[in-house]
Amino acid sequence: MNLETDAMLVSLHIHAWSGRMHDRDVSDRVAAEHDAGASAGRYHKRLLPKDAFSALTATISEARKTHFKQTLPWDDQGNRLLTVANHAHYTELMDALRERMVRDRTRFLEDYEANIARARLELGGLFREADYPPPDTLRDRFSLRYRIQSAPDADHFIAKLATQDTERVKRDIKQQIGARLGDALADLYRRLGEAVGHVSERLREDEDGKPLVFRNSLIENVRAVVDVAPRLNLFGDENLARLCEEVKEKIAAVEPDALRPSRAFDPKIRERVKRDADDLLERFAGYFGTGDTADADTHREAA
């Protein structure tokens, strides 16, 4: 695995107007009525009805979830690790969400004046015409974009340093990069293990011996993880690949209706999937390390 050629860093940048405003007059009045200090509380009013933002909020939420599901952890500055193998899939999903946000923004602006009229009724005496930005200035307040850059190596940092002790610094940087890669590997194991754990949990029976209720998303989430994990496995971790294939074959391939009371329900299949999930969960138990390179090596060498 070569970090520079097999992966890149990607950051997601989302801007959205909140549609909320601090009403200083109301805050001061409430404080005075209760003989409280001016800093005791702040009253924020919603300038538009909540449903005015529902489409934009849903798109933004999905964009964040997609960004995290299709990448691996890297640093605390908002950068995530994107593998070359998953680049095309990531950009296809994110570009579609960016276009969706443009459409949501267009509809939001088309309905803006009508929603202000609704807000006038809802806010009553709290309504202030001056609180509302002109429509043409709101367009730039909603945006969704991602930024891709090269994944750094130790030499990249060394070139920026004026020091004689380059070997020591390079060694330290390599250790830090190794620790981040260890965290990324552990994250893949965690995702797969959590998805299997949820299946194991929901395939139990209640106190009366009846199967617990679950939604299709229980199996769909497993399918999503086994779909993306091979593309994110830039480490070539053979054990992870084997576990992923087992989860795909033993759990993801099963239709949800076969696991719960329905026309397609098969108690034997449910029992088998529950048993397989429990077995897999035990095997995942040792793969949630601290993220250092020693743990990553242990993962690769384990059975």
pLDDT of 163 above 70:
no
Per-domain boundaries in the chain: 3-150, 154-301
pLDDT of residue 239: 92
pLDDT of residue 155: 56
More confident residue, 181 or 87: 87
| Distance, CA of 173 to CA of 178 (rounded, Å) | 8
More confident residue, 42 or 124: 124
Section 263-282 average pLDDT: 93
Q: Is 79 exposed, middle or buried (0-12, 13-18, 19+ CB in 10 A)?
A: buried
**What would the pLDDT profile of 196-223 be if each residue is shown by its tens digit?**
999 999 999 888 888 888 999 999 999 9
Specify the pTM.
Answer: 0.82
pLDDT of residue 293: 37
Section 42-71 average pLDDT: 95
Section 130-135 average pLDDT: 94
| Distance, CA of 84 to CA of 293 (rounded, Å) | 22
The three-class DSSP label of residue 235 is coil
Q: Can you list the alpha helix ranges (DSSP code H) found in 124-237?
A: 135-138, 154-158, 166-202, 217-232
Section 260-274 average pLDDT: 92
Contact 167, 176 (CB under 8 A): no
